[in-house]
Every structure is written in structure tokens, then in C-alpha cells.
Amino acid sequence: MDNSFIALGLMSGTSLDGIDASIIKSDGENNLDIIDNKYFNYPEEFRKRLSNFILNINNREDIEENINNYKSLERDLTLYHSRISQSIIDDNNNKIQLVGLHGQTIIHKPKDGYSVQMGDAKLLSQLLNEKVIYNFRANDIKNNGEGAPLAPIYHKLLIKKLQINDPTLILNIGGISNYTYCFKDKLMAKDVGPGNVLIDEYLKKTKGIKFDNNGDIASSGNINQDIINQFYEHEFYNVDEKHSYDRKEFDINFVKGLEFADAIATLTYFTALIISNNIKKIFKNKINIILCGGGRKNFTLVNHLKNLLKYEIKLIDDFNIDGDFIESQAFAYLSIRSYLKKPISYPSTTKVNIPVTGGEIIINY
């Protein structure tokens, strides 16, 4: 008897570039079949509106004070989610049984007891005629967890599927970087610093460029070691207890005054230095590292990581898995686990008190 579900996962990450959509088939445990992936690019005007809104939100009260703007953005964001969902569903003949909606993180403050993801699950359920599971982080935070990272249980399944038996670190470089460590029954995870956030913010602010293609700009500039030394000591980057980050906690002002290419070179090396040192603090012995997320395409960043870590680093794409869609696949998988009331986060992944399930189900059709 097949206990598998066909689920659609939707992820809009901290880089604010668009929506990743993935369809998988899984029983929420050991079986996994990746059916399809698709990407939707936000229109530039919408991305700017969303980015400007997030920039001005420092707490929940700010959202309440700007609720009309929030609702307007949320409606547009949900319609874009509906559009890519319908498109990927139409491309495949599978009947979707669940939709996992992560939404767009507006602010993440687990220490204050909340993490806000924009996205109208009721509207999405109505538009798609499907069960939608959303609000994945709230239950974890309610049980003293950080609400992030949530992909580790899916990373563990991927490592099993790839039949990797050595100690392995999956390093996801999105807007923020996080890792999942898997070996036998051990599962550990945490955020380890910025990913693309510093580089992308500087590019957008100064030149209106979305990202450094292949790391070409960084490779053409000079790294300012004095600035690196001065700001690497910043306590924010050296807090061992820091488990999850909000993108707004990262500041690019320390490279002000540098030539454009030098600023990008410095930010790129700075990012690699924080990631590598935070990994080395925890893992003293040799370990395999598999990269996923958009940052794996920044060859300058990846080369810095290889030089700083001295470990074997591969891309998840080397195993015939598209590294752009791990998070959207994860939220499809989490929606299945959530529907089955299985745990999605653990003390060793989010610092939650006990393993907990998460996500709320919406049926609005």
C-alpha cells in the first residue's frame, strides 16, 4: 500500500528575487521522488515595494501601523504564488494533495516570540482548490525554539537518498547561510552567518544589480584586509550562541568609501570568513561539505570557502539534484510531515524544547 502524498512546496527566500516551486512525492519519512521544479521571478516593481516595506519593519507593531500596505503586498504576493503553483501543476499530470506555503519572511525575532511570514493561505487555498499548510515556524517558537532552520529533516532524507555514509554538512547559502550536519542518527543545524545578503544589498543599493554573476565583480576587486580585521571582531559575528539570523541584522555600511569592485570583493571574502570560522568552531575533524542555495553559483565565494575550510566541497548538483530548489522541496516535505503530525524540528536543529510538529492546515474551497 502506497502511503505517499504528492505535495507542492513554495519558497520565497531572503534574497527577495522570486518564488521557487517544487512538486515531490513522499511518505513523510524515507521515500522521496522529486517530480518537478519551477521558478517565478518577481516583477521588479513588486520586488522594490516588498524590499522597501521590509526595510521599514523593525517589530510587529510596525506591521500593525502599516497594515493596509501589508495586506496589499500580501494579496499580490499570494497571487504570484497562485500563478506559479497553477503553472507547475498544469505542467504535470499529478493530482496535488497538499501545498506547503512558506511565504515571505518579513521579520524574524524568535527571542521576542515571533517570526512573520507574509502569504494568505486562505486565498491560496481558494484559488488552487487545495489544502494549504502554512505558518511552519510558530509552534517551534512557542516551544522555545528559534523557528529556524527548518530544512534539516529534509536534508537528512536527501543524504539518505544519495547513500552518503560519511559525516556530511549540507551548507545552504541563501540570503543567510545555514548548515545541516548528518551522520548516522545525528542531526544538527544552525545559521552560520550571512550568505548572499551583504553582497546583494550592496549591489542593489549602489548599482541596481540583483547579484554578482559567478562572483565576477568580486574576483576583479581587491580585498581590504584592514576592514575585514576591524569588523570581523564585531561581537555580532562571533556570538557562539547565535542560532538564527534575521536578514536585517546585517549591515553593509562598513565598506562605505571603498571602490565598487573592492567593496564587493571585501564583502564576499568577509562572508566566506564568517561562514568558515563558524563551521571550524564546531567541526574540528575532516568533513564532507555539500553546497546548495544561490550562493553556490558565486565561484569567488566558493573558492574562498574551499581555501579557508580545506575540506572537500561539492555542489549538490554534482549528485543530479538542482541546488536552487532544495528549500521549496523541503517545504513540500514539511507539509506532508505536518499533515501527518510528525515532528519537523528538533532540539538539535532549532533549540526547541522537544521535537515538535508545525504548520497550520487551511481548507478554503
pLDDT score, position 339: 98
In sequence order, which residues have a C-beta less than 8 Å from that of residue 61 and are 6 or more positions away? none
Mean pLDDT lowest for which of 192-196, 298-302, 350-354? 192-196
pLDDT score, position 163: 94
pLDDT class of 239 with cuts at 50, 70, 90: low
Stretch 226-244: mean pLDDT: 73
In sequence order, which residues have a C-beta less than 8 Å from that of residue 235 and are 6 or more positions away? none
- From CA 295, how far away is CA 177, in angstroms rounded? 9
Mean pLDDT lowest for which of 219-223, 275-279, 301-305? 275-279
pLDDT class of 1 with cuts at 50, 70, 90: low
pLDDT score, position 15: 82
Per-residue model confidence as pLDDT tens digits over 198-214: 999 999 999 999 899 99
Per-residue model confidence as pLDDT tens digits over 56-100: 999 999 999 999 999 999 999 999 999 999 999 999 988 999 999
Q: Is the pLDDT of residue 236 over 70?
A: no
| Residue appearing with cell numbers 478554503 | 364
Give the DSSP letter string of 219-233. HHS---HHHHHHHHT
Contact 210, 200 (CB under 8 A): yes
**Residue percentage of the chain with pLDDT more than 70:** 98
For strands 313-315 and 288-292, give the pairing. parallel
Average pLDDT, the chain: 94
- From CA 221, how far away is CA 130, in angstroms rounded? 49
pLDDT score, position 235: 53
DSSP H or E stretch at residue 284 = none
Do the domains 163-319 and 5-145+327-362 match in fold?
A: yes
Q: Is the pLDDT of residue 233 over 80?
A: no
- From CA 159, how far away is CA 178, in angstroms rounded? 16
Query: pTM here?
Result: 0.95
The structural domains of the chain, with segments of one domain joined by +, span 5-145+327-362, 163-319
Domain 5-145+327-362 of CATH type 3.30.420.40:
yes
Q: Domain spanning 163-319: which superfamily?
A: ATPase, nucleotide binding domain (3.30.420.40)
pLDDT score, position 232: 78
pLDDT score, position 203: 96
335: its cell numbers: 507539509
